[in-house]
Amino acid sequence: MNDAPEHIEVGAGANARRIAVRKQAGTAPGIFWLGGFKSDMRGTKAEALAAHAARSGRACVRFDYSGHGESGGRFEDGTISSWLEDALAVFETQARGPQIVVGSSMGGWIALLLAAALAKKPARETSLAGLVLIAPAPDFTEALMWAEFSPEVKREIEEEGFWQRPSAYGEDPYPITRTLIEDGRKHLVLNKPIELGVPVRILQGVKDPDVPFGHAMKLVSCLAQDDVVLTLVKDGDHRLSRPEDLDRLTRTVDELAGGL
């Protein structure tokens, strides 16, 4: 497998950016990876899924959002709207046939928005077959960021346009912009029923400090019309990247694929 990614152009004019993509040919349903906030396609879960797909002969597509990993653009310019546009462009140009979309953290939110966007488009060869969501964080900009920020942090974001948030994972602080928060409000999904028409599997750590397991349970309540299975990992953290977590993830994808 060639280690260098391909690139596609997304957006136009001042919003144009080069999105890095890695894809593997194989059988359907394919795996379509959506990473998390500040994550990339070379992360542990993405690499494990790609390796599993290669061993089993299954197609796999993964990419980096703009401002992430090997893609172009600045992270601080990114929004839920722009990252959804990246995901939709990659899905429609790089994936073939039915796809199991695997979304981690923010990728879970993007997966739900991607599903809604695809439902509005004419039927085509590339389609959504199911979702596997890992510690899904829909509405995180509002429910898990803004609602939890102190008045001082909110004031700084509103007056300065951004706040440098310390990282819990040993990285440098990163900006949370007013634009990100305001744009996120256009895409909130947990305030209404969600009907996807495809099976959904959710893996959630009970000891997740970033996305409380109650957040996943709220999502399940919104998905009342769909085939949904929520698996709570009692000792699991946010990343769910231990060997046993990765084994659970690949088994979940295989089981879902086998039932399609």
**187 catalytic per annotation:** no
Is 242 part of a structural domain of the chain?
Answer: yes
- Would you say residue 84 lies in a domain? yes
- CATH number, position 118: 3.40.50.1820
Q: Which residue reads 């990343």 in tokens?
A: 239
- Annotated active-site residue in 183, 208, 210, 245: 208
pLDDT of amino acid 170: 66
Which has more pLDDT, 256 or 3?
Answer: 256
Residue with tokens 């992270």: 75
- Kindly state the DSSP code that residue 143 receives in the 8-state scheme: I
Secondary structure element (H or E) that encloses residue 28, with its range:
strand 27-34
pLDDT, one tens digit per residue, over 49-87 is 999 999 999 999 999 999 999 999 999 999 999 999 999
Helix axes 243-258 and 44-56, enclosed angle (nearest 10): 50
pLDDT in tens, 94-116: 999 999 999 999 999 999 999 99
DSSP state of 109: H
Per residue in 10-36, pLDDT (tens digit) is 999 989 999 999 999 999 999 999 999
- Answer whether residue 225 is part of any domain: yes
What integer is the mean pLDDT of 131-153?
98
Q: Return the pLDDT at 40.
A: 96
Mean pLDDT of 177-203: 97
The answer, yes or no, to whether residue 126 has pLDDT greater than 90, is no
- Residue 57 inside a domain? The answer is yes
Question: Is 85 inside any structural domain?
Answer: yes
Concatenating the DSSP letter of every residue in 56-82 gives: HTEEEEEE--TTSTTS-S-GGG--HHH
Residue 1: pLDDT band (50, 70, 90) is very low
Flag whether 176 is in a domain. no
The DSSP annotation for 191-246 comes to TS----SS-EEEEEETT-SSS-HHHHHHHHHHTTTS-EEEEEETT--SS--SHHHH
pLDDT of residue 52: 97
With respect to residue 66, please indicate whether it lies within any of the assigned structural domains: yes
- Phi, psi (deg, nearest 5) at residue 226: -105, 165
Q: Is 97 left (phi over 0), alpha (psi -120 to 50) or beta?
A: left
Q: What number is the average pLDDT over the span 135-140?
A: 98
- Counted domains in the chain: 1
pLDDT of residue 109: 98
From the list 198, 206, 48, 194, the residue with the least C-alpha distance to 132 is: 198
Instruction: Print the domain residue range for 28.
Output: 6-139+190-258
- SS3 category, 24: strand
Say what the pLDDT of residue 257 is. Answer: 93
Q: Residue 187 in 3-state DSSP?
A: helix
Q: Which tokens belong to 240?
A: 């769910």
User: In this structure, how many other beta carbons lie within 10 angstroms of the beta carbon of residue 212?
Assistant: 17
* Burial (CB count within 10 angstroms: exposed 0-12, middle 13-18, buried 19+), residue 209: exposed
Q: Which helix (DSSP H) or strand (DSSP E) does residue 52 occupy?
A: helix 44-56
User: Does the annotation count 238 as an active-site position?
Assistant: yes
Does the residue 30 lie in any domain?
yes
Read off the pLDDT of each residue in 173-181 and give the average, rounded to a whole number: 96
- pLDDT above 80 for 192: yes
